[in-house]
Chains A and B, each alone.
Chain A
Amino acid sequence: QSALTQPASVSGSPGQSITISCTGTSSDVGGYNYVSWYQQHPGKAPKLMIYEVSNRPSGVSNRFSGSKSGNTASLTISGLQAEDEADYYCSSYTSSSMGVFGGGTKLTVL
C-alpha cells in the first residue's frame, strides 16, 4: 500500500487560510468516506482534527475543515494562528481493510 501524497510544506500568514491536499486512489481516499487528518507538534503524539472527511471531534476549533473530491481530500485551516504551526497527516481506510497515511505536510505560520 503506497502512502497518500501530500505537499511537503505549506505556509501562510496569521489570519490567512491555507489548504493541504491528500491524493490517493479509488482503493482508499476515493473509495471511502473514511479520511481523517492529524496535527502533530514536535515531540508530541498526533492529535485527531478531522474524521470521516469533514467531521470535527469535540474540542477541535471550527477553523479546521475537511472535504473530498474524487481521489483527493483536503484540509483547510482558516484564520491561521501561530499555534497551528505543526505537521499535518492525512489517513484513509483502504480496500484491504488497512490504514494508510500521507507523507505529512509541514505548516509554517510566517
Chain B
Amino acid sequence: QVQLVQSGAEVKKPGASVKVSCKASGYTFTSYGISWVRQAPGQGLEWMGWISAYNGNTNYAQKLQGRVTMTTDTSTSTAYMELRSLRSDDTAVYYCARDGSYDGAFDIWGQGTMVTVSS
C-alpha cells in the first residue's frame, strides 16, 4: 500500500542539527512532491516547505530560510529534511506528506517524528 515511513525520535541540544528521513513505498516516488509540516506540542500545523522528487526543486517557508534543507534520494525513494541551529522552539513532531495527487493538498502522511531540543 501507499505509505510514508519516517525515522525515529531525536533528542538534540540547542545549536545542533537534525536530519529526518521519510521513505516512500507503493507509488512512483518521482511523480510527486513531498512537503514537510511540523506541529509543536499542543499547537497547530506549520508548513515548512516542499521538494519535487522529480527534479529536486524546493520552496521553503520564509521563517526557515537559511536553516532548512530538503533533499531526496530517488534510488531509495527517500526524502530528507535537515534543520540546523536548533532552538527550543523547534521542538515539535515533524511530518512528511505526499504532495501532487491533488493541487495544494497532502494526501498521504508519514507517522511523524518527534524532535526534542533541550540542553
Q: Interface on A for B, CB 8 Å cutoff?
A: 1, 3, 32, 34-36, 38, 40, 45-48, 51-52, 55, 57, 89, 91-93, 96-104
Bound-complex Cα distance A100 to B45 (A): 9
Number of interface residues of B (CB under 8 A): 23
The answer to whether A91 touches B105 (Cβ under 8 A) is: yes
Bound complex: CA A74 to CA B86 (Å)? 36
Which residues of B, 67-119, contact A by the 8 Å Cβ criterion? Answer: 95, 97, 102-107, 109-112
Give every chain B residue within 8 A of A55 (Cβ-Cβ): 102
Q: Is there contact, CB below 8 Å, between A45 and B104?
A: no
Residues of B within 8 A of A (CB): 35, 37, 44-47, 49-50, 59, 61-62, 95, 97, 102-107, 109-112
Name the residue of chain B whose CB is nearest to the CB of A6.
B44
B99 to chain A, nearest CB (A): 8
| Interface core residue of A96, A101, A103 (most chain B CB under 10 Å) | A101
**Shortest CB distance B42–A (Å):** 10
Set A51, A99, A103: member contacting B47, Cβ < 8 A: A99
